[in-house]
């Protein structure tokens, strides 16, 4: 039976927020128990594609992201957490794969097109080679570990398809060496920001982070967007357009959520009281994560040890894959 090998990860450009938690982290905690091998990369090289002028930001956030992983329940005994930049085989594979993909194909990738549009303030009209080519480096990340499963959101599916194309092209030239990965589509919808934006993020100022204190959570929730047509406390509101109701559905009990919606519609609950209850519920929900996070913040040496061991293990895996690749490409010179 073929081994189930999962690869996933995040770019260290900031602490992780509740959108990450509901969108991917909870799923990873579950799946680390269901696969034969689990690799979670800290994609610091990829983070530099649009943070090339701020390397200190990327470096600073490496440990923050690893602490977030550990605080939500990623177990280093079950999942190998490693640094992308410390696996030179990935960079080497990226160079090899770059010969198999045309510029035109990269420019047609829907995910790349969307992200280039979002990064106009960084690139202007001059997109870097590294940013345009990151689907190629992502293909190297995946295939360097023989990954068979890659959990992604729907917006990332074009990247996995591009990886599969690269694998097919490589295998058609050099023999059946690489595995075609399968995308594991998350069933969880993207969590909206506190302002109602479809995307949650630091740059938008609409995110609650896993590390936020009770005071920070309360302050952010109190600024959440509510029904703009509800002016006075006794006005009848519409929970469908209220972000407080939206978040009650995520963090409150079913009874609390239904009561909040009913009282909002009837105009017998004020927004301030509703927000205070929500802030309390979110804080309680995140308390175990926050406490575990505090422990690792106070023991950075443990975080470094986990990352060092994980990277060493990942490097060995990538080395073995690279031996097969180089043999197939007739690049195994001086082989005894």
Q: Is residue 113 predicted with pLDDT exceeding 70?
A: yes
Return the percentage of the chain with pLDDT > 90, whole number: 66
Residue 268 and residue 133 in one domain: no
pLDDT at residue number 186 = 74
Average pLDDT for 309-323: 97
Q: Is residue 219 predicted with pLDDT exceeding 80?
A: yes
CA contacts within 13 A on the Cβ side of 165? 17
Residue 13 and residue 85 in one domain: yes
Domain containing residue 231: CATH number: 1.10.240.10
- Strands of the sheet containing 149-152, edge to edge, are 80-83, 37-42, 5-10, 149-152, 182-185
Q: Is residue 122 predicted with pLDDT exceeding 90?
A: no
Domain containing residue 164: CATH number: 3.40.50.620
Residue 265 and residue 318 in one domain: no
Residue 118 and residue 252 in one domain: no
Residue 304 and residue 288 in one domain: no
Contact by Cβ (8 Å): 311, 83: yes
Does residue 335 belong to any structural domain of this protein?
Answer: no
The packing angle between helices 110-118 and 134-143, to 10°, is 130
Residue 12 and residue 161 in one domain: yes
pLDDT at residue number 154 = 82
Q: Of 92-106, 147-161, 197-211, which has the strongest mean pLDDT?
A: 92-106
Class of residue 49 by CB neighbours under 10 A (exposed 0-12, middle 13-18, buried 19+) = buried
Does residue 59 belong to any structural domain of this protein?
Answer: yes
Residue 188 and residue 275 in one domain: no
328: tokens are 């197939």
pLDDT at residue number 120 = 67
Average pLDDT for 36-42: 96
3-state secondary structure of 127: coil
Into how many domains does the chain fold? 2
pLDDT at residue number 14 = 86
Average pLDDT for 306-315: 97
Residue 248 and residue 275 in one domain: yes
Of the candidates 259, 278, 284, which has an alpha carbon nearest to the alpha carbon of residue 269? 259
Q: For the chain, what is the mean pLDDT?
A: 91
Contact by Cβ (8 Å): 132, 81: no
pLDDT at residue number 63 = 94
Per-residue pLDDT reduced to its tens digit, 156-189:
889 999 999 999 999 999 999 999 999 988 776 7
Residue 51 and residue 124 in one domain: yes
The band of 149, judged by pLDDT with boundaries at 50, 70 and 90, is: very high
Q: Is residue 116 predicted with pLDDT exceeding 90?
A: no
Does residue 315 belong to any structural domain of this protein?
Answer: yes
pLDDT at residue number 248 = 93
DSSP run (H or E) holding 301: helix 300-328
User: How far apart are alpha carbons 236 and 246 in whole angstroms?
Assistant: 17
Residue 125 and residue 225 in one domain: no
Residue 222 and residue 180 in one domain: no
Of residues 119 and 309, which shows the higher confidence score? 309
Residues 6+ apart with CB under 8 A from 61: 12, 13, 14, 15, 47
Residues 6+ apart with CB under 8 A from 236: 230, 264, 265, 266, 267
Average pLDDT for 236-261: 90
């Amino acid at each position: 039976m073929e081994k189930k090998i999962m690869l996933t990860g995040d770019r260290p450009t900031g602490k992780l927020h509740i959108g990450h938690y509901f969108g991917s982290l909870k799923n990873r905690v579950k799946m680390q128990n269901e696969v034969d091998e689990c690799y979670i990369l800290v994609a610091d090289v990829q983070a530099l594609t649009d943070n090339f002028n701020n390397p200190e930001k990327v470096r600073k956030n490496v440990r923050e992201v690893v602490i977030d992983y550990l605080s939500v329940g990623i177990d280093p005994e079950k999942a190998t957490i490693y640094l992308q930049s410390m696996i030179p085989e990935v960079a080497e594979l990226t160079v090899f794969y770059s010969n198999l993909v045309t510029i035109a194909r990269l420019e047609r990738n829907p995910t790349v097109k969307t992200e280039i549009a979002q990064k106009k303030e960084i690139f202007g009209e001059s997109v870097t080679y590294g940013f345009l080519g990151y689907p190629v480096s992502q293909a190297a990340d995946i295939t360097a570990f023989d990954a068979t499963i890659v959990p992604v959101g729907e917006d990332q599916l074009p990247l996995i398809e591009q990886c599969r194309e690269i694998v097919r092209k490589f295998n058609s030239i050099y023999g059946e060496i690489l595995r075609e990965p399968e995308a594991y589509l998350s069933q969880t919808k993207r969590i909206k920001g506190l302002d109602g934006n479809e995307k949650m993020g630091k740059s938008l100022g609409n995110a609650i982070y896993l590390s936020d204190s009770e005071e920070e959570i309360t302050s952010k929730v109190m600024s959440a967007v509510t029904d703009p047509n509800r002016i006075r406390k006794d006005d009848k509101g519409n929970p469908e357009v209220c972000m407080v109701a939206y978040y009650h559905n995520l963090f409150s009990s079913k009874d609390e959520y239904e009561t909040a919606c009913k009282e909002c519609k009837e105009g017998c609950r004020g927004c301030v009281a509703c927000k205070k209850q929500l802030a309390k519920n979110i804080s309680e929900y995140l308390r175990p994560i926050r406490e575990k996070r505090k422990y690792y913040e106070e023991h950075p040496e443990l975080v470094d040890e986990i990352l060092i061991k994980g990277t060493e293990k990942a490097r060995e895996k990538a080395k073995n894959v690279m031996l097969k690749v180089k043999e197939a490409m007739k690049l195994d010179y001086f082989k005894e």
